[in-house]
Amino acid sequence: MKRTTLKLGQLLLIGLVILSFDLPVSSVRSQPTSSQPASQPSASQTATVQFLPADQNQLTQLLKQAPQLQQQPWPQLLQTLATKFEGAAYKGGLLDQSPKEELVLSLSQFDCVLFVETVLAIARTLTVEEPSPQVFSNAVQTQRYRQGHMQGYCSRLHYFSDWIADNQRRGLVENITPALGGIPLNKPLNFMSQHRQSYPQLKSTANWQCIQAVETRLQSLPLHYIPQAQIRGIEASLQPGDIIAVATAVPGLDVTHTGLVYQMSDQTKGLIHASPGGSVRIAPDLATYVANVDQSIGIIVARPQNSQQ
C-alpha cells in the first residue's frame, strides 16, 4: 500500500494532541475511584455542551432502537454501533474550537478519538435502564477527562496512554497489551510542552505549566506496545470493539491514531476508524493498515468493559 502524506494544515490529531505543522502520515489522526454508573454525572463543574440539534435528533432515534440493540453481546454491540457512523465526515480540531473548554458531542463528524469515545458512550448509555441523551453526555464526559471531572483544558486526557490508564482505573477499559505479549515502550511523553506554539490553549501560562506537570507525572506510567511484526499473531485474541491505538516513533508521543477492531465476515480483523482521509471507514486488514501508518511501531490494545456484566 502506498504511503501518503497529509498536510497538517488539516490538523493531525495525536491522541487528543493537536499538531499544526507538516508531519508525514498515512491516513492518521493521530490521548482512582470505583466505576460510576454512566447515568450519573461525574464532573465537578457544570459543563458547557456543544451538541448540534441534528445530532441530538440522530441520537434520539438511535436510542429508540435500545430494545433490539441491548440484546447483542457487548463486543457485537460496539461493532454494530461503530458501523452506524460509517461514512460520517472526519474533522480535526473539533474539541479546540472554543478558547474555553466545552463538552463537545457529535454524531455527524469526528476525529479518531472522538469517534471511539462516541461509540463507547452510546454503548454505555444502552446498558442503563432508561437510556437518554443526558446519560450519553455524562458518559462522554466521564471518559474524556481525568477521573471523569471536567475542570478545564488541562483536565482533558490529551495523551492516549493517559486516556487508557485513567479509564482503566475507573473500570471503563482494560489495557490488555501486556497480556498479549506487549513489550516496554520507553520514551518520555512531552510533545505538547515541547511544541507549545502549536497549541492555542497553551498560550496560557497556567495551561502550559499544568500540561508540563501532567507530563512529569506520566514519566512513571508504564507503557507497552505490540510490535508490528507480532500483530498478525495476536489478531485471534482480539474482539470486535477492542480499542486499537497506533504506537509511534515520533519523539515525545505515544500514539498517532485510534480506532476499533472490526471483525470481518471471515473472522479476520480490520479497523473501523475516523480517517483523516475523509470519513469513518473500515480498513479490512488491521496489520496491513498499521504497517502503512508512517512512523508506526505497533499497537496498544484496550478492551472496553461493560459495567453491567
75-90 confidence digits (pLDDT tens): 999 999 999 999 999 9
Angle, CA 110 vertex, CA 290 and CA 83 arms, to 5°: 70
State the average pLDDT over residues 170-179.
98
114-171 pLDDT, tens digit per residue, is 999 999 999 999 999 999 999 999 999 999 999 999 999 999 999 999 999 999 999 9
Rounded distance between C-alpha atoms, residue 107 and residue 114, angstroms: 9
Closest by alpha carbon to 31, among 203, 228, 248?
A: 248
pLDDT at residue 46 in the model: 65
Q: Which of 26, 15, 8 is nearest to 253 (CA)?
A: 15
pLDDT range class, residue 277, cuts 50, 70, 90: confident
**What value does the mean pLDDT take over residues 219-228?**
98
**Residue 44: predicted pLDDT:** 43
pLDDT, average across residues 299-303: 98
Fill in the amino acid letter for 213. Answer: A
Question: Rounded to whole angstroms, how far apart are CA atoms 12 and 31?
Answer: 13
Which pLDDT band, with edges at 50, 70 and 90, does 308 fall under? confident
- Residue 279 DSSP code: B
Asked if 160 and 255 touch (Cβ cutoff 8 Å), the reply is yes
**Residue 207 Cα distances to 19, 92, 296, angstroms:** 17, 21, 29
Nearest CA-CA partner of 300 in 160, 190, 192, 169: 160
Average pLDDT score over residue span 193-219: 96
Which of 91, 10, 21, 13 is closest to 253 using CA atoms? 13
| Sign of the alpha-carbon dihedral angle for 56, 59, 63, 65 | positive
> Residue 19: pLDDT band by 50, 70, 90 thresholds?
very low
**Which 3 state secondary structure label does DSSP give 70?**
coil
**261 contacts: CB under 8 Å, gap ≥ 6:** 79, 238, 239, 240, 241, 242, 243, 244, 269, 270, 271, 272, 286
Q: Pick the more confident residue, 190 or 309.
A: 190
The pLDDT value given to residue 309: 62
Q: Tally Cβ neighbours within 10 Å of residue 303.
A: 19
Does position 230 have pLDDT exceeding 70, yes or no? yes
Instruction: State the Cα–Cα distance between residues 20 and 79, nearest whole angstrom.
Output: 32
Q: Mean pLDDT score of the chain, rounded to an integer?
A: 87
Which amino acid belongs to residue 297? Answer: I
